[in-house]
Amino acid sequence: MDDQPLVPDGRTERRSFLIALGLVTAAFVWLLRPFWGTLFWACALAVLCAPLYRRFQKATGWRSSPSAAVTLAVVAVAVIGPLCLFAASFFAQATSIYRDVQSGAIDLSQYSLRVRQSFPVVQAALTRLGLGGSSLSEGMTSAVLAAGRFVTQNAVSLGQGALGLFADSCLALYMAFFLIRDGGSLAEILIKALPLGDKRERRLFETFVGVIRSTVKGNVLMAFLHGVIGAVTLGFLGMNGLLLWGVAMGVLSLVPLVGTAVVWLPLSIYMASSGNWTGCFFLAGVEIAAMVGVDNVLRPAMVGRSLQMPDYLVLLSTLGGLASFGLGGMIAGPLVAALFVSAWKIFMGELNDR
């Protein structure tokens, strides 16, 4: 009887190793799940800073680590610092409005009553919706006061949330430093490691980088333009709290379909109810022109054409991204859609070449 031990062949060893490799990789990805969002923003920041890093390194001749550190420092000073000051001013104006509503200096019921009296059709529609009489104005006032009370009563929780956001931001900057410095070599390692074919992988990486750059630059520029146009227009009409209105319109401009109309349409209706038809038509005209020019001309030119996707697919992927990933979905949604389109283009091209 042969007592020689069984020696596994090379195929069995390779399969066993691949199984172990898959398990270890899955465990590592699961281990990092609390930081997926942070890593995503670190990747986005690294992609955006890479051109600046390369230009700076070429101009100074410094080594990679000092160049990456200075690049991040420039971004922090030029972007993060002004954003903090901007946020402080925004919350100061929001707090001032809350106090005016609480003290009665701003009476929302008078605004609501004036609109209902000037537009009986609006009054009839609100009545059918169960918002007739004083219920609408009371609801608006209670909503503003409830928001203010929430901030006051949950100051500790909000402070902890702000501290957590600060910690995540520091971690994202820390990771971005290494991604900026070693991004090229890491990409080459992934291209060699992934079994998809180097040509396909390079094309998918190019799509990844292009989507992040186009969506971030495009959306930030669109929000900035909408916010500035809205604030300047309302300032011309004599409105107060311009920073608050500008931020609201800039943020809402990122929401497809709804956009800045949530702000300017009620304001236009109120101006009309006050007899200020010139202000009503001026505000509506400027905002409609901004929507046509910025959303239908600049946004497709900067985002849709860069992604090489039709506008409806950009819209659907953005909505799906917002629903699935929150604010990060503004980038993640179009990114997934662009990778989907790119992968299918590669597949169809290779299929037709056979």
pLDDT of residue 170: 83
Among 27-36, 163-172, 178-187, 274-283, where is mean pLDDT lowest? 163-172
Sequence-distant (6+) residues with CB within 8 A of 27 are: none
- pLDDT at residue 94 is higher than 80: no
Percentage of the chain beyond pLDDT 70 is 72
- What confidence score (pLDDT) does residue 67 get? 85
Mean of pLDDT values over 310-329: 80
Q: How far is CA 192 from CA 202, 314, 339, in A?
A: 10, 31, 19
pLDDT at 290 over 90: no
Tokens representing residue 81 in the block: 């610092």
Task: Say which residue, 229 or 349, is predicted with more confidence.
Answer: 229
pLDDT tens across 245-256, in order? 888 888 888 776
Long-range contacts, 45-51 (Cβ 8 Å, 24+)? 45/75, 45/172, 45/173, 45/176, 45/179, 46/176, 46/179, 46/180, 46/183, 47/183, 47/208, 47/209, 47/212, 47/213, 48/212, 48/213, 48/216, 48/217, 49/75, 49/176, 49/180, 50/180, 50/183
Write down the H helix ranges in 237-260: 242-252
Mean per-residue pLDDT, 213-238: 85
Q: Do the Cβ atoms of 205 and 191 come closer than 8 Å?
A: yes
127-172 per-position pLDDT tens digit: 665 555 555 555 555 555 555 555 555 444 545 555 666 777 788 8
Contacts of 86 (CB under 8 A, 6+ apart): 243
Closest CA to 302 of 197, 191, 224, 193: 224
> Mean of the pLDDT values across residues 115-122?
59
Look over the chain and give the mean of its residue pLDDT values, rounded to a whole number.
Answer: 77
- The residue length of the chain stands at 354
When pLDDT is averaged across residues 312-319 and rounded to a whole number, the result is 81
Residue pLDDT, tens place only, 7-42 = 566 778 888 888 998 899 999 999 998 888 888 888
Q: Residue 321: is it exposed, middle or buried by C-beta count within 10 angstroms (0-12/13-18/19+)?
A: buried
Contact between 272 and 280 (Cβ < 8 Å): yes
Supply the pLDDT for residue 275: 78
Query: pLDDT value at position 112?
Result: 60
pLDDT score of 30: 93
Average pLDDT over residues 52-63: 83
